[in-house]
Amino acid sequence: MHIHILGICGTFMGGVAQLAVASGHKVTGCDANVYPPMSDQLKAAGIMLTEGFDAAQTGLKPDVFVIGNAISRGNPLLEAILDMGLPYVSGPQWLSENVLQGRWVLGVAGTHGKTTTAAMLAFLLEKAGLNPGFLIGGVPVDFGVSARLGKTPLFVIEADEYDTAFCDKRSKFVHYRPRTVILNNLEFDHADIFQDLAAIETQFHHLARILPATGRIIANAREESLKRVLARGCWTPVDWFNGWKDDWRAEGNDADGSLIIYGENGEEVGRTQWELTGAHNRANACAALLAARHVGVSITDGLKFLSEFRNVKRRMEVFGEAGGVTVYDDFAHHPTAIATTLDGLRRKVGPVARIIAVLEPRSNTMKMGTMKDQLPHSLRLADQVFCYCANLGWDVQAVLAPLGAHQSCHDDLAALVAAVAAEARPGDHVVVMSNGGFGGVHQKLLNALATG
């Protein structure tokens, strides 16, 4: 089968492309911006890429066009496909019908932590010798790629609640039909497509409705939203985690890198040392361990494996050091994720070391200003905050005013880099937080720090 993918350089669609090639299909694709790292992965897989969405691409005459959810009505190639009556399908539907059919799918859903938890789960199964396939919204350091077909029926997928495509407004995850699913957490997000939290809860219940009775749900006991979802109807056994003494839970200490798992009877099941920090990552680990247990990996073995886990690129990844200042790259863009990122780093570096947060509010939700009022609180653990405020429709300076002299807003990237470099001093930790490339600010900061 020849498929032509619209929006191929997105993390999900790029993963679909790699899985399609590995399954023996011919793959071509296009995107508005063909750039690394995804473009490099795709070219390495032998995939021909076209810059832009010229309607002339219909002349490639694929068997089907696979449409990414970033493609909207008005796109010239999409309009030509519709006018000509050519066959098309969404990325999640194509994946479901051509890759996931007949496989034991382990889905990781939730507002936060999907990528890290999915990477943990795939790593646990890999270390157990189960050779899973996976499709993850980031690049796990231990695998070096975001997608792999695998050699067994097991397949780990990051189960995103974002809508499927222009033609299908259900959440992506309803297409995956998982047998094992992690419900990590559930907050309001994606204000561009969801009216409120209740609307997202409905989508999560659509997912719960299709899980088999022989499956397993791993659900966060501290999330009232998830309890409401499952109270609507649940036909699958549930392992609750991250609760109190009657639920599975993870504890530990960032100072010594300890990770301790307690079972439903409140007794310790096992412990290890690992590289990750923060209570959120310990909860992620507990969820991944319970999901792996559903396919036969013991908690004891899983803990041993996690001691070797190296996380995902752009998740508190040390980008470099210059002038005695450490620069981190982190994907955090939702206020809750920002707060947990800073909390984990604060616990790691201690109360004295200075943390400088460099934030780009880039997600659709943040651009709309839906959660802007939560930002001052989420940034409270940073000693200084620098915000890039170009192309935003709300007053960032006014929103961050509660931080007083500890905040600075810039609509020019060069000016922001210069301001951060002037503020930073040896021993500081600079955390760059964005769900995009942020104009290469990480390297620009390192260069400025090295010459300053």
Lowest pLDDT segment from 22-26, 157-161, 340-344: 340-344
Coil, strand, or helix at residue 255? coil
Pair 28, 48: CB distance under 8 Å: yes
In the predicted model, is pLDDT for residue 340 greater than 90? no
State the amino acid at position 21 in one-letter form: V
- 162 or 218, greater pLDDT: 218
- φ/ψ bin of 284: left (φ > 0), alpha (ψ from -120 to 50), beta (otherwise): alpha
Distance CA 126, CA 106 (A): 14
Q: Could you tell me what percent of the chain has a pLDDT over 70?
A: 96
Instruction: For residues 141 and 258, state if they share a domain.
Output: yes
Pair 158, 135: CB distance under 8 Å: yes
Q: Which of 287, 306, 325 is the last residue of a domain?
A: 306
CATH code for position 148: 3.40.1190.10
Q: Which domain does 381 fall in, by range?
A: 317-451
Strand 147-148 and strand 26-31: pairing? unpaired
Structure confidence by residue, pLDDT tens digits, 388-423:
988 777 888 888 889 898 988 898 999 999 999 999
In a domain, 243, yes or no: yes
Distance CA 112, CA 280 (A): 9
Give the pLDDT score at 10: 87
In a domain, 88, yes or no: yes
Lowest pLDDT segment from 35-39, 59-63, 207-211, 338-342: 35-39
Instruction: For residues 131 and 57, state if they share a domain.
Output: no
Instruction: For residues 127 and 269, state if they share a domain.
Output: yes
In the predicted model, is pLDDT for residue 294 greater than 90? yes
Instruction: For residues 213 and 77, state if they share a domain.
Output: no
In a domain, 79, yes or no: yes
Distance CA 161, CA 111 (A): 8
Instruction: For residues 161 and 215, state if they share a domain.
Output: yes
Structure confidence by residue, pLDDT tens digits, 355-383:
999 998 877 667 666 778 888 888 999 99
79 token code pair? 């309009």
In the predicted model, is pLDDT for residue 140 greater than 90? no
In a domain, 311, yes or no: no
Q: Which of 254, 277, 306 is the last residue of a domain?
A: 306
Instruction: For residues 402 and 281, state if they share a domain.
Output: no
Mean pLDDT of the chain: 91
Mean pLDDT along residues 75-99: 98
In the predicted model, is pLDDT for residue 43 greater than 90? no
Q: Which residues pair with 134 in a beta bridge?
A: 148, 156
Distance CA 2, CA 28 (A): 8
In the predicted model, is pLDDT for residue 142 greater than 70? yes
The pLDDT-based confidence of 36 (bands split at 50, 70, 90) is low
Instruction: For residues 276 and 406, state if they share a domain.
Output: no
Give the pLDDT score at 191: 65
CATH code for position 380: 3.90.190.20
243 token code pair? 């609760």
In a domain, 417, yes or no: yes
Pair 114, 137: CB distance under 8 Å: yes
In the predicted model, is pLDDT for residue 48 greater than 80? yes
Give the pLDDT score at 305: 97
Residue found under tokens 């908690």:
299
Give the pLDDT score at 35: 64
Pair 117, 184: CB distance under 8 Å: yes
The pLDDT-based confidence of 92 (bands split at 50, 70, 90) is very high
Instruction: For residues 398 and 352, state if they share a domain.
Output: yes
Cα 19 → chain centroid: 19
Give the pLDDT score at 145: 87
In the predicted model, is pLDDT for residue 273 greater than 80? yes
Structure confidence by residue, pLDDT tens digits, 220-269:
999 999 999 999 999 999 999 998 777 899 999 888 899 999 998 889 99
In the predicted model, is pLDDT for residue 195 greater than 70? yes
Instruction: For residues 107 and 183, state if they share a domain.
Output: yes
Distance CA 53, CA 71 (A): 10
Strand 133-135 and strand 238-241: pairing? unpaired
Give the pLDDT score at 325: 93
CA distances in angstroms from 298 to 128, 213, 239, 304, listed in the order given: 9, 22, 15, 10
Q: How many domains does the chain have?
A: 3
Give the pLDDT score at 136: 93
Mean pLDDT along residues 298-305: 97
Pseudo-torsion of CA 221, 223, 229, 235, nearest 10°? -10
In the predicted model, is pLDDT for residue 188 greater than 80? no
Give the pLDDT score at 367: 67
Give the pLDDT score at 253: 87
CA distances in angstroms from 213 to 39, 104, 114, listed in the order given: 41, 14, 24
